[in-house]
Amino acid sequence: MINFKRKIFGINVHLDMSIDVFKDLRKESYTWDKVQPYLERLVICLKWNPKLEKVIDSLDNMAILYAHGSNNEGSWNYQEKRLLGLKERNVQDWINKHDGKYDLLLIACCNSDNKGKAKSMLSTLVYPSTDFSPLSIKFYDEDYLRISNHKP
């Protein structure tokens, strides 16, 4: 997992990106200097969603999990590249690890057929209801996102 921390529009953003996703982005001519503008575009798209506009305006920080996702036997997983191949990890475990440490948790992993369900106790949680594509962000579309807001 590659960790990337930047301040974007006044929001401290922590990105956990799988190595295989980074390699996929590089095939599309993405490099680290292009990751920041991509994250800026992502934050703008989130803000365009009427359900999230006020949430985004009040954020101090957010964490993003960006990896390939899969639904296996009722478990929503993300893939992490290891020396000996891919290892599947549970999306909910990543959420539990970061819940309460960040105002917003964004899951940027495919969620085929909306089978993956997730919950957070302390942070606002945002995740897609279908496949996720870095080149066609649809976070402004209310039907594309599942949102649970635990902030007052």
pLDDT band at 5 (very low <50, low <70, confident <90, very high): confident
Measured distance CA(146)–CA(27) in Å, rounded: 29
Predicted model pTM? 0.83
Could you report the per-residue pLDDT of 21-31, keeping only the tens digit for each?
777 666 665 56
pLDDT the model gives residue 28: 61
Q: What is the mean pLDDT of residues 52-79?
A: 86
Could you report the per-residue pLDDT of 89-103, keeping only the tens digit for each?
999 999 999 999 999
Full residue range of the structural domain in which residue 49 is found: 2-148
pLDDT the model gives residue 10: 86
Measured distance CA(136)–CA(11) in Å, rounded: 22
What are residue 34's DSSP bridge partners? Answer: none
Domain count, the chain: 1
Cβ neighbours of residue 121 under 8 Å, at least 6 residues apart?
A: 99, 100, 150
